[in-house]
Amino acid sequence: MRELSLNVLDIVQNSITALSLLTTVAVYENTAEQKLRIEVTDTGKGMTEEQVQNVVDPFFTTRTTRSVGLGVPLFKMAAEQTGGSFEISSVLGSGTHLAADFVTSSIDMPPLGDINSTISVLIRMNPHIDFIYTYETGGQSFTLDTRELRTMLSDVPLDNPDVMAWIDEFLTENTNELKNSK
Amino acid sequence: MKTLAELQAIRDKARKEINLREENPDAIRVMVGMATCGIAAGARPVLNALVEETGKRNLTNVTVTQTGCIGLCQNEPVVEVLVPGQDKVTYINVDAEKAIRIVNDHIVNGNVVSEYTIGTAIK
């Protein structure tokens, strides 16, 4: 993966496949300590103890078409090669949580990339489920919660072009605001 | 700054428009492979280009969706175009530029961009 935001896009597909109705993506950036933390928490069907242990193995997948699954192993590798760490936990029937810590000063630190595009694509392609996205940098943060949007929109779907344009602008504006106030 | 209140205006506007995308049996479906292989190869900008171009041209009879891995990982990003009543067309090694041409030539004008299809490109 060229950038971490693509790993996130890939990882969240697992949550969607696991029928998560509410998936939380959080990015915490601490430039002073040169740390970056990415967390994904879903409310999908969860995994058994055995599946959690196997999921970091590239030759484990729930797919039946072939026996390779690279999503989680690639994300874990990206974190660990910066000197960071990766953890995953899951409760069968209630959901999965994963967190990756990165050391941003490492030579192997991939760029975060266009995370807003990842969030936008996730919402656009899955307008019937909910996402919470939090971005924190320099001690300040903003959150996009599609459940709040849904309340305002009532019967109008999230993938309506005008709504998507609003979401894109919301993400861009808030990200720029945080970056400029640093 | 964007406020949630603006969404009310968007809602009221959207309610006035008939949504042609819903339940349209004649809709053209465009599917982008978005598994690990597709994403790594650059499917996200392709998807964005397709959505942007169909939106710009106001092609209300086109739905852009995502699909999983179809086993052509080495040829990702893969875009499949399904026009009702016609054979499915599979494009390989697509990028944002090619995606725009697929919308213009194939979806709007009905001419398959044969140089990007799996049948031609793989030879």
Q: Indicate the pTM of the whole model.
A: 0.89
Let me know if residue B34 belongs to a domain.
Answer: yes
Contact residues, B window 18-37, toward A, CB-based 8 Å cutoff: 19, 34-36
Chain B residues touching residue A10 (CB < 8 angstroms) = 35-36, 39-40
Closest CA to A75 of A18, A37, A129, A122: A37
Residue B98 in this model has a pLDDT that exceeds 80: yes
Residue A62 in this model has a pLDDT that exceeds 80: no
Residue B19 in this model has a pLDDT that exceeds 60: no
Let me know if residue B78 belongs to a domain.
Answer: yes
Chain B residues touching residue A124 (CB < 8 angstroms) = 51
Let me know if residue B6 belongs to a domain.
Answer: no
Q: How large is the average pLDDT for residues A157-181?
A: 92
Per-residue model confidence as pLDDT tens digits over B75-84: 999 999 999 9
- A79 near A108, Cβ under 8 Å? no
| Domain assignments of chain A as residue spans, ordered by start | 4-180
**Residue A1 and residue B39: Cβ atoms within 8 Å?**
yes
Residue B26 in this model has a pLDDT that exceeds 90: no
ipTM of the complex: 0.84
pLDDT on residue A67:
62
Euclidean distance between CA atoms A128 and A61, whole angstroms = 26
Q: What would be the CATH architecture of the domain defined by A4-180?
A: 2-Layer Sandwich (3.30)
Let me know if residue B14 belongs to a domain.
Answer: no
**Residue B2 and residue A170: Cβ atoms within 8 Å?**
yes
Domain hosting B111: range is 20-121
Per-residue model confidence as pLDDT tens digits over A122-132: 999 999 999 99
Side chain identity at residue A8, one-letter code: V
Let me know if residue B106 belongs to a domain.
Answer: yes
